[in-house]
Amino acid sequence: MIRETPFQEVFIPEEFDEEQLMIKQTCVDFIDAEVYPKLDAIDAQEEGLMQQLLDKAGDLGLLSVSIPEAYGGFGKDFNTSMLVADAVGAGHSFAVALSAHTGIGTLPILYYGNEEQKQRYIPKLASGEYKAAYCLTEPNAGSDANSGKTSARLNEQGTHYVINGQKMWITNGGFADIFIVFAKIDDDKNLSAFIIERNFGGVTMNPEEHKMGIKGSSTRQVFFNDCMVPVENLLSERGNGFKIAVNILNIGRIKLSAAAIGSSRKVIDHATNYANERVQFGLQISKFGAVRYKLAEMAIRLFAAESATYRAGQNIDDAYEQLVAKGMDSAQARLKSTEQFAVECAITKVWGSEMLDYVVDEGVQVYGGMGFSADAPMERAYRDSRINRIFEGTNEVNRLLIIDMLLKRAMKGELDLMGPAQSVAGELMSIPDFAEPDSALFAYEKRVLQNLKKVGLLVAGAAVQKLMMSLSKEQEILMNIADIMGYVYLAESTLLRAEKLVHMRGEELVKGQIDIARVYLHSAADHVYLAGKEALYSFAEGDELKMMLMGLRRFTKVEPFNSKEARQRIAKQLIEANKYCF
Ligand SMILES: Cc1cc2nc3c(=O)[nH]c(=O)nc-3n(C[C@H](O)[C@H](O)[C@H](O)COP(=O)(O)OP(=O)(O)OC[C@H]3O[C@@H](n4cnc5c(N)ncnc54)[C@H](O)[C@@H]3O)c2cc1C
Q: Is 182 in the pocket of ligand 1 (CB under 6 A)?
A: no
| Of residues 243, 250, 216, 199, the one with CA closest to residue 91 | 216
Mean pLDDT of 217-244: 97
**Whether the predicted pLDDT of 434 surpasses 80:** no
From atom 40 of ligand 1, which residue's Cα is the shortest distance away?
A: 397
Write out pLDDT tens, residues 108-145: 999 999 999 999 999 999 999 999 999 999 999 999 99
Residue 288: other Cβ atoms inside 10 A: 14
CA–CA separation, 42 and 50 (whole Å): 7
Q: Which of 83, 71, 184 is nearest to 124 (CA)?
A: 71
- Is 72:126 a contact under the CB 8 Å cutoff? yes
Q: Which of 11, 26, 14 is nearest to 65 (CA)?
A: 26
Q: How confident is the model at residue 469 (pLDDT cuts 50, 70, 90)?
A: confident
Handedness of CA 20, 21, 24, 25 (dihedral sign): negative
Which ligand 1 atom is at minimum distance from the Cα of 100?
8
Atom of ligand 1 nearest to the CA of 171: 8
Most ligand 1 atoms within 8 A of CB, residue of 391, 403, 473 to mutate: 391
Which strand (E) or helix (H) includes residue 388? none
Which ligand 1 atom is nearest residue 135's CA?
Answer: 11
Which residues does residue 184 pair with via DSSP β-bridges, in sequence order? 151
- Report whether residue 170 contacts ligand 1, using a CB cutoff of 6 Å: yes
Ligand 1 pocket test, candidate residues 169, 205, 478, 479, most atoms within 8 A of CB? 169
Q: Is the CB of 135 under 6 A from ligand 1?
A: yes
Q: How far apart are alpha carbons 397 and 404 in whole angstroms? A: 10
Q: What is the mean pLDDT of residues 309-332?
A: 97
Query: Is 252 close to ligand 1, i.e. is its CB under 6 Å away?
Result: no
- Residues whose CB falls within 8 Å of the CB of residue 391, separated by 6 or more in sequence, listed in order: 169, 256
DSSP E strand stretches across 110-155: 132-135, 151-154
Listed in sequence order, the residues at least 6 apart from 448 whose beta carbon sits closer than 8 Å to its beta carbon are: 521, 525, 558
Over residues 52-66, the mean pLDDT reads 96
pLDDT of residue 468: 85
Catalytic option among 138, 306, 379, 392: 392
Q: At residue 431, does pLDDT exceed 80? A: no
In this predicted structure, what is the pLDDT of residue 27? 97
Q: Which residue's alpha carbon is nearest to atom 23 within ligand 1?
A: 142
Distances in whole angstroms, Cα of residue 241 to Cα of each of 147, 185, 235, 291, 343: 12, 11, 8, 49, 21
Residue 48 has pLDDT above 90, yes or no: yes
Q: Which atom of ligand 1 is nearest to the CA of 104?
A: 8
pLDDT band at 149 (very low <50, low <70, confident <90, very high): very high
Tell the residue nearest (CA) to atom 51 of ligand 1: 169
Three-class SS state of 161:
strand
pLDDT digits (tens, 9 = 90+) for 359-413: 999 999 999 999 999 999 999 999 999 999 999 999 999 999 999 999 999 989 9
Q: Compute CA 343 distance to the chain's CA centroid, rounded to the nearest angstrom.
A: 11
Q: What are the two backbone dihedrals, phi and then psi, of residue 474, each rounded to the nearest 5 degrees? A: -90, 75
pLDDT per position as a tens digit, 151-180: 999 999 999 999 999 999 999 999 999 999
Question: Ligand 1, atom 35: nearest CA belongs to which residue?
Answer: 396
| pLDDT of res. 438 | 77
Please provide residue 460's backbone torsions phi and psi, each rounded to the nearest 5 degrees. Answer: -65, -45
Where is average pLDDT lowest: 262-271, 283-292, 404-413, 527-536? 404-413
- What are the φ and ψ backbone dihedral angles of 510, each rounded to 5 degrees? -125, 35
Residue 418's pLDDT band, with cuts at 50, 70 and 90, is confident
Q: What is the largest CA-CA distance in the chain?
A: 81
Cβ atoms within 10 A of the Cβ of 331, count?
Answer: 16
pLDDT for 439: 81
Query: Does the pLDDT of residue 278 top 90, yes or no?
Result: yes
pLDDT of residue 261: 98
Nearest residue to 494 (alpha-carbon basis) of 245, 303, 279:
303
| pLDDT band at residue 432 using 50, 70 and 90 as cut-offs | confident
Give residue 494's pLDDT band: very low, low, confident or very high (50, 70, 90). Answer: very high
**What does the alpha-carbon distance between residue 448 and residue 515 come to, in Å, rounded to a whole number?**
15
Q: What is the pLDDT of residue 428?
A: 86
Looking at the CA of residue 393, tell me the nearest atom of ligand 1: 21
Whose alpha carbon is nearest atom 30 of ligand 1? Answer: 142
CB 171 near ligand 1, within 6 Å = yes
**pLDDT top residue among 440 and 28:** 28
**Those residues with Cβ within 8 angstroms of residue 307's Cβ, 6 or more apart along the chain or in another chain:** 12, 13, 490, 493, 494, 496, 497
- By alpha-carbon position, which residue is closest to atom 50 of ligand 1? 169
> 407 CB contacts (<8 Å, ≥6 apart)?
417, 464, 471
- Asked if residue 429 has pLDDT above 90, the reply is no
What's the DSSP call for residue 38? G
Of 99, 104, 137, the one to substitute when testing ligand 1's pocket (max ligand atoms within 8 A of C-beta) is: 137
Please say whether the beta carbons of 491 and 524 come within 8 A: yes
- Judged by DSSP in three states, 191 sits in coil
Q: Express each pLDDT in 129-138 by its tens digit.
A: 999 999 999 9
Residue 524 CB-half CA count within 13 A: 35
Q: Does the pLDDT at position 352 exceed 80?
A: yes
**pLDDT tier, 276 (very low <50, low <70, confident <90, very high otherwise):** very high
Q: Could you identify the atom of ligand 1 that is nearest to the CA of residue 395?
A: 47
How many helical (H) and strand (E) elements, i.e. helices and strands, does the chain have?
A: 19, 10
Mean pLDDT of the region 308-332: 97
- Does the beta carbon of 309 sit less than 6 angstroms from any atom of ligand 1? no
Q: Mean pLDDT over residues 542-551, rounded?
A: 95
φ/ψ of residue 283, rounded to 5: -130, 150
137 Cβ below 6 A of ligand 1:
yes
- Pinpoint the alpha helices (H) of 386-474: 395-412, 418-429, 443-467
State whether the beta carbon of 552 lies less than 6 angstroms from ligand 1: no
Whole-number mean pLDDT of the chain? 96
Question: In the annotation, is 392 catalytic?
Answer: yes
Q: What is the mean pLDDT of residues 521-549?
A: 97
